[in-house]
Amino acid sequence: MGETRTFSDPGLTVTQVCFDHAVTLLVANDSVSYRIRIEGAMHVGRHRIDPGRWPIDAAPIVALIHEPVVCIEADDLQLSVCTRQDILTVARADEFIAWMLAGPDGLKLWG
């Protein structure tokens, strides 16, 4: 397993959730924002969510809006978004890019 990067800026919250064939989360505070694009299957707590089943599976993701984010962790195997209530996890996929993490100004940080 490679390097793990952790982003834990104070005051981060999930400020926006957008759906198309994937889901995009905007996690931000007053000075920094992270955009997380997820195209693979994910887990929010005990719920498995498949992007191909919108809107049926969308409720646990929508529930993340305004949730304080403790940290975002990424490594070669998965992405985790840890809120005070739940953890969203997305595993790496071999066939496609399951997730991407971008920082301020759209700079790709991982994925």
Residue 62, SS3 per DSSP: helix
Instruction: Report residue 56 as tokens.
Output: 């049926």
Residue 33, SS3 per DSSP: strand
- The angle formed by the CA atoms of residues 92, 98 and 103, to the nearest 5 degrees, is 100
Mean pLDDT score across all residues of the chain: 90
Convert the pLDDT of each residue in 31-54 to its tens digit: 999 999 999 999 999 999 887 777
pLDDT at 1: 54
- Indicate left, alpha or beta for 106 from its phi (over 0: left) and psi (-120 to 50: alpha): left
Q: Which amino acid is at 74?
A: A
Q: What is the pTM of this model?
A: 0.90
Instruction: Report residue 18 as tokens.
Output: 């957008």
Convert the pLDDT of each residue in 85-105 to its tens digit: 899 999 999 888 999 999 877
Cα–Cα distance, 55 to 99 (Å, whole number): 19
Distance between alpha carbon 50 and the CA centroid of its chain, in Å? 14
